[in-house]
C-alpha cells in the first residue's frame, strides 16, 4: 500500500462515508433531516431577532446605559451566545489592545461566550472592571 499525497493509504478513504439514503454516494455530510421552507424562515427570523437584540445591547453598552458587570452576572438570552470580546469592544474607550490585555489577565480565550465563562473568569473580569 503506497501512501497518497495526503498521507493516507490509497485504498482507504480519509473519512468514513455515511451509508444513508439521504446522502449522495461520495458525499461526506451529516445525517440531518431536511427542513421545510417554513422551518428555515422561522430559524432565519429568530436569528435576525437575536442579532437585532445583540446590536441594541452593544449600543446600550457604548452609551453607558448598561453596566458590563450587570450584563456578566445576569446576561439576557440574546447575549448568552455572544462573544465576550465583541461586547468588550463595544465599551467606550476600550479597543483591541485593552481587550487583549484584560482577557489574558483573566485567562479567557478570545472565542469565549458569555454563557461559557466560569465563575472564576466572571469574577476576575468584574474585579478588573473598569478596564
Most confidently predicted of 26-30, 36-40, 47-51: 47-51
Q: What is the pLDDT of residue 46?
A: 95
The full set of domain ranges for the chain reads 37-128
Nearest Cα to 92, choosing from 121, 120, 44, 60? 60
Average pLDDT over residues 106-121: 95
User: Would you place residue 129 in the very low, low, confident or very high pLDDT band (cuts 50, 70, 90)?
Assistant: confident
Task: Give, in degrees to the nearest 5, the angle at Cα 73 between 68 and 77.
Answer: 90
Q: What is the pTM of this model?
A: 0.69
Q: Does residue 85 surpass a pLDDT of 70?
A: yes
CATH topology for the 37-128 domain: Helicase, Ruva Protein; domain 3 (1.10.8)
User: Would you place residue 26 in the very low, low, confident or very high pLDDT band (cuts 50, 70, 90)?
Assistant: low
Q: Which residues contact 100 (CB under 8 A, 6 or more apart)?
A: none
Amino acid at each position: 500500500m503506497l501512501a497518497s499525497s495526503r498521507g493516507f493509504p490509497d485504498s482507504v478513504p480519509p473519512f468514513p462515508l455515511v451509508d444513508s439514503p439521504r446522502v449522495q454516494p461520495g458525499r461526506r455530510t451529516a445525517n440531518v433531516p431536511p427542513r421545510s421552507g417554513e422551518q428555515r424562515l422561522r430559524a432565519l427570523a429568530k436569528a435576525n431577532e437575536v442579532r437585532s437584540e445583540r446590536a441594541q445591547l452593544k449600543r446600550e453598552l457604548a452609551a453607558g446605559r448598561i453596566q458590563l458587570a450587570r450584563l456578566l452576572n445576569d446576561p439576557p438570552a440574546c447575549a448568552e451566545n455572544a462573544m465576550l470580546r465583541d461586547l468588550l469592544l463595544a465599551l467606550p474607550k476600550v479597543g483591541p489592545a485593552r481587550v487583549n490585555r484584560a482577557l489574558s489577565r483573566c485567562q479567557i480565550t478570545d472565542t469565549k461566550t458569555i454563557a461559557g465563562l466560569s465563575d472564576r473568569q466572571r469574577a476576575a473580569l468584574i474585579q478588573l472592571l473598569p478596564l
